[in-house]
Amino acid sequence: MFLCFSVKSGVNQGLYLFLVLHFLNGACLFKMASCLCGSAPCLLCGCCPSSRNSTVTRLVFSFFLLLGTLVSVIMILPGMEAQLQKIPGFCQGASTIPGMENQFNCDVIVGYKSVYRMCFAMTCFFFLFSAIMVRVQSSKDPRAAIQNGFWFFKFLILVGITVGAFFIPDGTFHTVWFYFGVVGSFIFIVIQLILLIDFAHSWNKIWVGNAEEGNSKCWFAGLLSFTFLHYALAFTSVVLFYIYYTQPNDCTEHKVFISLNLIFSVIISIVSILPKVQEAQPQSGLLQASLISLYTMYVTWSAMTNNPNRKCNPSLLSLVSNVSSSEPTPTSAPGQVQWWDAQSIVGLVIFLFCTLYASIRSSSNTQVNKLMQTEEGGSYGGEGEVGEDGVRRAVDNEEEGVTYSYSFFHFHLCLASLYIMMTLTNWYKPDTTTQAMQSSMPAVWVKISSSWLGLGLYLWTLLAPLMFPDRDFS
Among 82-96, 167-181, 409-423, 451-465, which is the least confidently predicted range? 82-96
Q: 46 or 135: which carries more pLDDT confidence?
A: 135
Q: Where are the beta strands (DSSP E) in 21-160?
A: none
Q: What is the pLDDT of residue 6?
A: 38
| Dist. CA 375–CA 77, nearest whole Å | 40
pLDDT at residue 285 above 80? yes
Q: 76 or 178: which carries more pLDDT confidence?
A: 178
Q: Which residues contact 120 (CB under 8 A, 6 or more apart)?
A: 165, 168, 177, 421
What element of type H or E holds 385? strand 385-386
pLDDT at residue 295 above 80? yes
Binned at pLDDT 50, 70 and 90, residue 309 comes out as: confident
Which of 312, 329, 321 shows the shortest CA–CA distance to 244? Answer: 312
* pLDDT tens for each residue of 65-102: 999 988 888 887 777 767 666 666 556 555 455 544 54
Which of 138, 7, 46, 62 shows the shortest CA–CA distance to 387? Answer: 46
Q: What is the pLDDT of residue 128?
A: 94
Burial class from Cβ neighbours inside 10 Å (0-12, 13-18, 19+) for residue 127 reads middle
* pLDDT tens for each residue of 435-468: 445 567 778 888 899 889 888 988 988 888 888 7
Average pLDDT over every residue of 186-191: 87
pLDDT at residue 474 above 70? no
| Dist. CA 402–CA 399, nearest whole Å | 7
* pLDDT tens for each residue of 53-63: 777 888 889 89
What element of type H or E holds 465? helix 441-467
Q: Name the percent of the chain lying above pLDDT 70.
A: 66
Q: Is 392 helix (H, G, I), strand (E, B) or coil?
A: strand
Q: Which residues contact 378 (CB under 8 A, 6 or more apart)?
A: 52, 54, 362, 397, 403, 404
Burial class from Cβ neighbours inside 10 Å (0-12, 13-18, 19+) for residue 207 reads middle
pLDDT at residue 330 above 50? no
pLDDT at residue 433 above 80? no
Q: How far apart are the first and last CA of the chain?
A: 55
Q: What is the pLDDT of residue 425?
A: 82
* pLDDT tens for each residue of 385-399: 545 555 455 666 677
| Dist. CA 459–CA 269, nearest whole Å | 10
The dihedral built from the CA positions of residue 412, 417, 418 and 420, taken in this order, carries a sign that is positive
Q: What is the pLDDT of residue 437?
A: 54
Most confident of 47-56, 142-151, 291-300, 398-407: 291-300
Tell me phi and psi for residue 374, to 5 degrees.
Answer: -125, 165
Average pLDDT over every residue of 405-432: 83
Q: What is the pLDDT of residue 180?
A: 92
Q: Is 395 helix (H, G, I), strand (E, B) or coil?
A: strand
Do the Cβ atoms of 37 and 152 come closer than 8 Å?
Answer: yes
The dihedral built from the CA positions of residue 416, 421, 423 and 428, taken in this order, carries a sign that is negative
DSSP bridge partners of 429: 438
Q: 51 or 340: which carries more pLDDT confidence?
A: 51
Binned at pLDDT 50, 70 and 90, residue 159 comes out as: very high
* pLDDT tens for each residue of 347-396: 778 878 877 777 666 545 555 555 555 665 544 444 445 455 554 556 66
CA–centroid distance for 379 within its chain: 20
CB atoms within 10 A of CB 439: 18
Q: What is the pLDDT of residue 342?
A: 65
User: Which conformational region is residue 80 in: left (phi greater than 0), alpha (psi within -120 to 50 degrees), or beta?
Assistant: alpha
Binned at pLDDT 50, 70 and 90, residue 234 comes out as: very high
Q: What is the pLDDT of residue 257?
A: 93
Q: Is 52 helix (H, G, I), strand (E, B) or coil?
A: strand
| Dist. CA 116–CA 112, nearest whole Å | 6
What are the contacts of 285-288 at 24+ separation with CB within 8 A? 285/204, 285/223, 286/227, 286/231, 287/200, 287/203, 287/204, 287/223, 287/226, 287/227, 287/230, 288/197, 288/200, 288/201, 288/204, 288/458
